[in-house]
């Protein structure tokens, strides 16, 4: 192979993967060599900007609100997995009573605590809950701001390392969290030294996208710049609309100069006939037209919606262009995404560890036998999704049940109910459907 052939082959190999080459399309700054390290370094500023957007930008506020409400809804229904009906009822009743007392500050029930955690996960990228005991020895949950976990603490220690305020053992498992005793909302908070808290007492929830990632990144991070640009577009469009509204007329004389010695009418009314003095004419201003901004805004909103994983219709509250088929396709994919995040994020990192701690506390108080508490697994059911077309959804469920493709238990769980509880309600209900009457 000659020199020219080798140069051609090298050039072809160089262009075969554009993302791995160089050129005008790729600037030198568009690389991310260590995502986990960059998240640890940049997450705080990203979270602060996201918090500002969530407080001041209507689109960002809608994103945080929709994600948190869909992730948690009004909270999961949890019953123990056991064949012992009496034990099942006893544990379920105790859990229901504790649900209302879950908040250490006494303001919310467990659903409120979970909703607050979900907002933190979306806006700040992570949420922290401390599992404490109150004066009566009951389990309570205390929400803490991510800023209380001292992100400036990063150093090696004898039995592992501390990264961004989280101490890990040699296998990378969290061992302690270094937490300031007060929120950064208090003026003297930064002067307070962080104290170690055992990892078993802390629920830390965040979306772990990269190996080695120990802190969460705001879900608004991929679209924060676009949100800021959208706000600038809105300001520009408003200024253009205000300029376009500056419609005015100028009286001129025969020489084309403004008529200074005439007092014109202050305005025009529809259908008016205005008589001008001889030799005078009127010329109207031609402000710039207000076009194109709406189409550009919609495209930017579509990009933002895709970047945060929400349907465009949820972000904009615009349902003008949807029908049953498009709603089912678009929201069906979104619901799958929510189901995955509920199981991998809310359940795995908050609900299941919380359930185990609550059972342990119940066993210590003698309300549940220790050997039973250690083996009770939770059955977690989330509230049912609102049907897009209730009649069609019920018909589909009946057809699947009749064909043996599903069970009543699965259908009832899909609606966020416990089948034993439902059957008990039906047995106690005097109402008999017409088709069942004899």
Ranking 30-39, 295-304, 346-355 by mean pLDDT, the lowest is 30-39
Q: pLDDT grade, residue 226 (50/70/90)?
A: very high
Q: Give tens-digit pLDDT for 128-142.
A: 999 999 888 899 999
Which one of 13-17, 20-24, 329-333, 349-353 scores highest in mean pLDDT?
A: 349-353
Cβ neighbours for 363, distance < 8 A, ≥ 6 positions apart:
369, 370, 372, 373, 374
Q: pLDDT grade, residue 410 (50/70/90)?
A: confident
Reported pTM: 0.81
Q: Give yes or no for residue 325 having a pLDDT over 90.
A: no
CA-to-CA separations, 67 to 6, 43, 62, 81, 360, in angstroms, rounded:
54, 20, 8, 29, 32
Q: Give tens-digit pLDDT for 56-89.
A: 999 999 999 999 999 999 899 898 988 888 898 8
Q: What is the pLDDT of residue 384?
A: 80
- How much is the average pLDDT of 354-380? 90
In percent, the amount of the chain with pLDDT more than 70 equals 86
Give ∠ CA 61-300-323 in degrees, rounded to 5: 85
Beta-carbon count within 10 A of 119 CB: 19
CA-to-CA separations, 274 to 222, 257, 262, 386, 406, in angstroms, rounded:
58, 20, 14, 61, 79
How, if at all, do strands 281-284 and 249-252 pair?
antiparallel
């Amino acid at each position: 192979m000659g020199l020219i052939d080798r140069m051609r082959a090298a050039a072809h190999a160089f262009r075969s993967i554009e993302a791995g080459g160089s050129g005008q399309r790729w600037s030198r700054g568009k690389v991310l060599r260590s995502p986990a390290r960059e998240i640890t370094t940049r997450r705080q500023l990203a979270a602060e900007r996201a918090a500002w957007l969530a407080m001041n930008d209507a689109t960002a506020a809608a994103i945080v609100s929709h994600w948190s409400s869909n992730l948690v809804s009004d909270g999961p229904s949890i019953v123990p997995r056991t064949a012992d009906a009496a034990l099942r009822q006893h544990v379920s009743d105790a859990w229901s009573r504790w649900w209302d007392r879950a908040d250490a500050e006494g303001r919310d029930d467990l659903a409120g605590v979970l909703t607050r955690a979900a907002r933190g996960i979306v806006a700040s990228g992570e949420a922290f809950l401390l599992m404490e005991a109150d004066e009566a020895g009951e389990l309570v949950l205390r929400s803490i701001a991510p800023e209380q976990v001292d992100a400036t603490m990063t150093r090696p220690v004898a039995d592992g390392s501390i990264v961004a305020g989280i101490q890990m053992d040699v296998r990378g498992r969290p061992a302690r969290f270094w937490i300031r005793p007060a929120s950064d909302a208090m003026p003297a908070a930064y002067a307070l030294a962080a104290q170690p808290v055992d990892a078993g007492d802390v629920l830390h929830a965040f979306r772990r996208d990269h190996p080695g990632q120990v802190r969460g990144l705001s879900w608004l991070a991929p679209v924060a710049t676009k949100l800021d640009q959208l706000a600038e577009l809105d300001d520009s469009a408003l200024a253009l609309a205000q300029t376009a509204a500056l419609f005015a007329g100028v009286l001129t004389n025969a020489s084309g100069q403004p008529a200074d010695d005439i007092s014109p009418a202050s305005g025009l009314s529809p259908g008016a006939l205005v008589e001008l003095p001889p030799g005078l004419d009127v010329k109207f201003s031609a402000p710039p037209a207000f076009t194109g901004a709406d189409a550009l805004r919609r495209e930017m909103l579509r990009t933002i919606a895709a970047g945060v994983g929400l349907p465009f219709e949820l972000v904009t509250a615009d349902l003008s262009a949807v029908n049953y088929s498009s709603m089912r396709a678009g929201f069906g994919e979104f619901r799958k995404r929510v189901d995955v995040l509920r199981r991998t994020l809310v359940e795995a990192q908050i609900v299941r560890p919380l359930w185990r701690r609550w059972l342990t506390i119940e066993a210590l108080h003698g309300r549940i036998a220790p050997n039973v508490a250690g083996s009770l697994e939770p059955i977690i059911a989330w509230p049912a999704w609102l049907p897009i077309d209730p009649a069609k959804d019920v018909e589909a469920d009946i057809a699947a049940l009749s064909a043996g493709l599903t069970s009543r238990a699965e259908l009832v769980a899909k609606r966020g109910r416990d089948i034993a509880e439902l059957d008990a309600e039906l047995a106690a209900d005097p109402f008999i459907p017409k088709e069942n009457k004899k």
